[in-house]
């Protein structure tokens, strides 16, 4: 449901570079280096070079270059380990169950740490509230928040089946947490006081459009690390953790009538439940 990058899904672009790299390497070997045809590791190295070149010419991201360079040589080396074939199948299925949708969502799996969870708890209003974690991963954030705020209700959406199962199992004894399997883009945001997103730069514009259409006045959108392009946050919160996590806080539908909003001289204003900047 996420917007597609120019050139198609990243996995397709990577596969095209690998295939064209193999064709180019094959042609070079047939025409100029026939003796290399019996040297799998040299062939794989040449294919990696050609794939990286094709990716670069097709304006693929720079960080793909080492992946293209190493993919086939590492595959050849791994084959030499002589592992039983089920190991490869099991590894593939495991990766598919966790990262199978990353190609389209362009949101990988990384988790909100404990200090950031604590800081987020400080952004919840003092009165009972409802919060959603868009892409809740292993549910660790919701577990911590649900224990800290038994008066609030927490919802998590996750579309990776294995990650969802982990989150569901680990939250099943918490009565104020609901973990749902599915795509959060299809879920309306109008019932939440706080919407939390820890995604990637790719879907931020789309998230802003959705939040502005669906969130109710006064509700808070908190994005961990990734700002909405060209939108000034109501405020930013820096967490004192090792990675210097930053929350970008927005009010997509503007201040609510009952939210206690206090307009400030610079036009941004404050809300009573958000602690002032130290």
Ligand X SMILES: C[S@@+](CC[C@H](N)C(=O)[O-])C[C@H]1O[C@@H](n2cnc3c(N)ncnc32)[C@H](O)[C@@H]1O
Q: Which stretch binds ligand X (CB under 6 A): 28-36, 68-76, 86-94, 134-142?
A: 134-142
Q: In the numeric block, which tokens belong to residue 211? A: 């939040």
User: What are the Cα distances from residue 149, in Å, to 177, 277, 278?
Assistant: 11, 22, 23
Size of the site for ligand X (CB under 6 A): 23
Residue 132 is a binding residue for ligand X (CB under 6 A): no
Shortest approach of ligand X to residue 183 CB, angstroms? Answer: 4
With CA atoms as reference, report the closest residue to 203 among 221, 230, 185: 185
Residue 141 is a binding residue for ligand X (CB under 6 A): yes
Helix (H, G, I), strand (E, B) or coil at 161: helix
Which of residues 14, 129, 160, 219 is near ligand X by CB under 6 A? 160
Residue 221 is a binding residue for ligand X (CB under 6 A): no
CB atoms within 10 A of CB 264: 10
Beta bridge partners of 246: 238
Beta bridge partners of 235: 249
Shortest approach of ligand X to residue 1 CB, angstroms? Answer: 6
Shortest approach of ligand X to residue 134 CB, angstroms? Answer: 7
Which of residues 64, 154, 157, 192 is near ligand X by CB under 6 A? 157
Per the CB < 8 A criterion, the answer to whether 220 and 249 are in contact is yes
| CA trace torsion 107, 111, 112, 113 (10° rounding) | -160
Shortest approach of ligand X to residue 238 CB, angstroms? Answer: 17
CB atoms within 10 A of CB 140: 19
Shortest approach of ligand X to residue 271 CB, angstroms? Answer: 22
- Residue whose CB is less far from ligand X, 226 or 261: 226
With CA atoms as reference, report the closest residue to 153 among 132, 122, 168, 123: 132
Q: Which stretch binds ligand X (CB under 6 A): 9-17, 87-95, 101-109, 210-218?
A: 101-109
Can you give the binding site for ligand X, defined by CB under 6 A?
1, 105, 107, 109-112, 133, 135-137, 140-141, 157-160, 163, 183-185, 198-199
């Amino acid at each position: 449901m996420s917007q597609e990058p120019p050139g198609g899904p990243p996995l397709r672009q990577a596969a095209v570079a690998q295939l064209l790299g193999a064709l180019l390497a094959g042609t070079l070997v047939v025409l100029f280096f026939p003796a290399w045809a019996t040297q799998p590791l040299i062939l794989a190295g040449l294919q990696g070079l050609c794939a990286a070149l094709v990716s670069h010419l097709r304006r693929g991201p720079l960080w793909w270059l080492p992946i293209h360079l190493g993919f086939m040589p590492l595959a050849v080396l791994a084959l030499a380990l002589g592992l039983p074939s089920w190991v490869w199948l099991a590894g593939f299925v495991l990766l598919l169950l966790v990262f199978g949708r990353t190609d389209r969502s362009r949101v990988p799996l990384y988790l909100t740490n404990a200090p950031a969870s604590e800081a987020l708890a400080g952004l919840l209003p003092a009165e009972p509230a409802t919060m959603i974690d868009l892409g809740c991963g292993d549910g660790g954030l919701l577990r911590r928040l649900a224990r800290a705020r038994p008066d609030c209700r927490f919802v998590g959406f996750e579309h990776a089946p294995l990650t969802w199962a982990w989150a569901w199992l680990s939250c099943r004894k918490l009565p104020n947490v609901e973990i749902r399997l599915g795509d959060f883009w299809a879920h309306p945001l109008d019932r939440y006081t706080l919407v939390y997103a820890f995604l990637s730069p790719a879907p931020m514009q789309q998230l802003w459009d959705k939040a502005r259409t669906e969130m109710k006045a006064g509700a808070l959108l908190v994005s961990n690390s990734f700002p909405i392009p060209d939108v000034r946050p109501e405020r930013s919160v820096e967490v004192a953790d090792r990675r210097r996590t930053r929350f970008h806080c927005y009010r997509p539908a503007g201040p609510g009538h009952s939210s206690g909003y206090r307009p400030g001289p610079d036009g941004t204003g404050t809300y009573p439940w958000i602690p002032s900047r130290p």
